[in-house]
Amino acid sequence: MRSFEIPPGVVAPDDYEPLARERLSPQAWAYYAGGVADETTIGWNREAFARLKLASRVLTAFESGGTGVTLFGQHFEHPILLAPAAHHALAVPEGELATVVGAGGAKAGMVVSTESDFTLEEIAQAARQSSRPSLWFQLYIQHDRGFTAELVKRAEAAGYGALVVTVDAPIHSLRNREQRAGYKPTKLSQHPNLRGLHTSHVAEAALGESLMFRGFLDVATRWADIAWLRSLTSLPILLKGILNPEDAETAIRHGVDGIIVSNHGGRVLDTVPASIEALPAVARRIAGRVPVLMDGGIRRGTDVLKALALGASAVLVGRPYLYGLAVAGPAGVAHVLHLLRCELEIAMVLTGCATLDEIGPQVIWQPEAPGETQ
């Protein structure tokens, strides 16, 4: 692995974004930074965090504390994981092999994408040779269920600790920024993890014909497939892409071990609510029966604190670490995670929380009700 350096003046996760734009091709930038349609939800993800105010506390006694969390029997030093994202090689040629080194350096868990630029086995091997970060595997259930079953077996054999099933993207949305930049999506069969997968079922719609209803959706994932997947493996299964409490309840009925509240970073359906807005209702419905995680719009340690206060056990970050990867390789990934963890710890102290278990709704400032006085 070649050496990388963190540029001077980078002191916050967002400092990497303009530097990444300078280094990435227009097509790669459109893929990483862009979303679906008008990208309204991308903006809402950030704005919703900004609207939440924190309630500070003073003179709290801290004799001990920490940011450790246990999820599905696995210990993490902090509750910030790398979200699954495809095509890390658009940032640096080493792709996910560099990312996993950065994750290990920051003692962070990493969710490896089905559509990674290196095989899941190569990434697991790179993890074993570095600081051994905890790896989970993000799974798109393929139209070929037999191929999917083999993919699950491969993840188990490679030592992945959980399956993260993305359920909110049964179709490829029209991402106008990518289209304008000329970005060409990689064919499924060309992804290293999906070599050998046939795609003859996908029909090409002519202008004026239906794009959705020409044989594609008849092989899309359904709830029955989640039950089938549960029967295949003993690994913990999380569903990623839940915004509706009813879907969260249905997931539990199908044997799911965890929920990730997510709007896919605003990349699937525009004008759905911010993930942090959807989190409280899902967390209330789940009521602690399984861990609830969230992603979408995390840019500061205070964002992590707010998500934990509203019911999340942990969060996942996406674009910030990709920008760090593009600018400074594994050092950039580790630096982004280090900054987020440091900011989280500072925010915990200033809101009177020594451990993650102490973070709750009380850290979110609420205006005094009319007529209420002390």
d(CA 239, CA 4): 35
Please give the structure tokens belonging to residue 113.
Answer: 């994408």
Which structural domain, as residue segments, surrounds residue 157? 13-52+66-196+221-346
Q: Is residue 367 part of a domain?
A: no
Q: How many residues does the chain have?
A: 374
Please give the structure tokens belonging to residue 176.
Answer: 């106008």
d(CA 66, CA 349): 10
Q: Which CATH number belongs to the domain containing residue 96 in this structure?
A: 3.20.20.70
With vertex at residue 196, the alpha carbon angle to CA 191 and CA 202, rounded to the nearest 5 degrees, is: 80
pLDDT of residue 216: 61
Per-residue pLDDT of the chain (374 residues; tens, 9 = 90+): 677 899 999 999 999 999 999 999 999 999 999 999 999 999 999 999 999 999 999 999 998 899 999 999 999 999 999 999 999 999 999 999 999 999 999 999 999 999 999 999 999 999 999 878 899 999 999 989 999 999 999 999 999 999 999 999 988 889 999 999 999 988 877 899 999 998 654 445 555 666 666 556 777 889 999 999 999 999 999 999 999 999 999 999 999 999 999 999 999 999 999 999 999 999 999 999 999 999 999 999 999 999 999 999 999 999 999 999 999 999 999 999 999 999 999 999 999 999 999 999 999 999 876 665 54
Q: Is residue 354 part of a domain?
A: no
Task: Tell me which of 88, 264, 335, 338 is the catalytic residue.
Answer: 264
Number of separate domains in the chain: 1
User: Of 187, 214, 207, whose CA–CA distance to 199 is shortest?
Assistant: 187
Q: What is the DSSP string of 49-109?
A: HHH--B----S---SS----EEETTEEESSSEEEPP-S-GGGT-TTHHHHHHHHHHHTT--
Q: Is residue 296 part of a domain?
A: yes
Buried b (16+ CB within 10 A) or exposed e, 78-89: bbbbbbbbbbbb
Q: Is residue 184 part of a domain?
A: yes
Q: Is residue 20 part of a domain?
A: yes
pLDDT of residue 188: 77
Contacts of 164 (CB under 8 A, 6+ apart): 84, 111, 136, 137, 138, 139, 238, 240, 260
Q: Is residue 298 part of a domain?
A: yes
pLDDT of residue 203: 47
Q: Residue 88 catalytic?
A: no
Q: Is residue 98 part of a domain?
A: yes
Q: Is residue 351 part of a domain?
A: no
Class of residue 218 by CB neighbours under 10 A (exposed 0-12, middle 13-18, buried 19+)? exposed
DSSP structural state of residue 196? T
